[in-house]
Amino acid sequence: MSENPKQHPDETGSNLEKDPEDWVTRDEPMTGAQASYLKTLCEEAGEPFDDKLTKAQASKRIDELKQRSYRAG
């Protein structure tokens, strides 16, 4: 029986490291959780919130805003 790769995030090939552009669901609308978190980050950064982003775009935007906020570390 093989192990679940999601339980081993340090291993190569983990879903945690997959580029959002490689996601099968990348073109779907962002999730409610992504929208909520992104809206909060946008408000904190004084940036506009775009509710039309895809899952992949939202993920990248969240990462970008996190790097510029106090949440980065």
Position 18 scores a pLDDT of 84
Q: What is the pLDDT of residue 68?
A: 80
Is residue 53 a part of any domain in this protein?
yes
3-state secondary structure 12-56: CCCHHHCCHHHCCCCCCECCHHHHHHHHHHHHHHCCCCCCCCEHH
Domain hosting residue 58, numbered range: 31-73
Residue 1 lies in a domain: no
pLDDT along the chain (73 residues), means of 10: 53 65 87 96 94 95 87 57
Query: Which two three-digit tokens encode residue 48?
Result: 């506009």
In this predicted structure, what is the pLDDT of residue 38? Answer: 97
Q: pTM of the predicted model, to two decimals?
A: 0.68
Owner of token pair 């929208």: 35
Q: How many domains does the chain have?
A: 1
23 Cβ contact partners less than 8 Å away, ≥ 6 residues apart: 55, 56
What pLDDT does 62 receive?
Answer: 96
- Is 50 a member of any domain? yes
Residue 26 confidence (pLDDT)? 82
Q: Tell me, what's the pLDDT at 36? A: 97
DSSP type of residue 69 = S
Asked if residue 2 belongs to a domain, the reply is: no
Assigned domain for 16 exists: no
